[in-house]
Amino acid sequence: MKAHYKKHILEFKTPSGTSRGILKTKEAWFIIIEDINSVGIGECGLLRGLSIDDRPDFEQKLQWVCANIGLGLKQLYDALTEFPSIQMGVETAFRSLASDDPFQIYPSEFSRGETGIAINGLIWMGDKAFMRAQIANKLKNGFSCIKMKIGALQFETELSLLKSIRQEFSASQIEIRVDANGAFTPHMALEKLKYLSDLDLHSIEQPIAVNQWDQMAFLCEKSPLDIALDEELIGVFSTQKKEQLLKHINPQYIILKPSFIGGFKGSDSWIEISQENDVGWWITSALESNVGLNAISQYTFTKNSTLHQGLGTGGLYTNNISSPLQITKGALLYNPSKRWDFNL
């Protein structure tokens, strides 16, 4: 058995705005394992500026993994606690290696093309006209749930955008989620949450910045709008710390990005603890290429969630890996008649 890694720079079709700035490119790192008659492919979904393993020795750790691939999945995974995106890449690559088809990571009705996964349509930050155009496009394409990133424009402007949607579509027609990416200040957050709650929104992700457990707990208790933790989960490795976080803050939901929280094993851990504490959850991709998105989507389907998932990022890039993944009427589908083109 031998392994190597490859880097690929993904280029956004349209520069995509977040509360942290404009994204134009995204790194994709792949681990490829080769055995006598098999190949395994896994993506390490590093996101600069947000992943806990965005550190100078990231590539060095990839080199170490490839040099020590013979240790096997368990030993490698356990040695990579501080590198959750590499944990996911290794997990995926070993599952891929063991499959007859390297892109059948979690075989199911989804990966056989028999059923889809309901997803939210993502609305990126930008000026009012740009955001309105995105919203119109998602509704035209059959989405019944949209997720709008907020925190970059004036709050009144974002509020008016949301009001305009609600005037046309009721909550039973369109579910709206918003993601503040920690943009609100603690002393203003509750007032803003009250304004947002008047619009029959589903939830808000990460209203204030991370590591403010007392303030976040206060908001989760007092807010008329359900709160979902997102970035708050990054860098929380131990089961004990996960339990402490959920019990202290007591959010309504948590959002799982496998590339940020230790892959599928890490996601399983969070799901188990959240269920014990009556906290809801859904799964979201973290701007991976179609290779990582495919693995996350196949894993997600096995969890039987009834909520819309955040898996609609495959069409963001001009040079993504061609794949059988496609979006139809607000659902992510795997079309077995289409082929993968992994020739990087």
Q: Catalytic positions, please?
A: 149, 257
Measured CA to CA, the distance from residue 202 to residue 226 in angstroms comes to 7
Measured CA to CA, the distance from residue 137 to residue 42 in angstroms comes to 32
Determine the residue type at 80.
Answer: L
Structure tokens at 58: 């990231």
Residue 96: CB atoms within 10 Å: 24
Residue pair 256/270 in contact by the 8 Å Cβ criterion = yes
Helix, strand, coil distribution of the chain in percent, nearest 5: 35, 25, 40
Measured CA to CA, the distance from residue 193 to residue 232 in angstroms comes to 18
Angle at 239 between CA 228 and CA 80, to 5 degrees: 100
Angle at 309 between CA 105 and CA 170, to 5 degrees: 160
Going through 35-98 in order, the beta strands assigned E by DSSP cover 39-44
Report residue 109 CA to chain centroid gap: 22
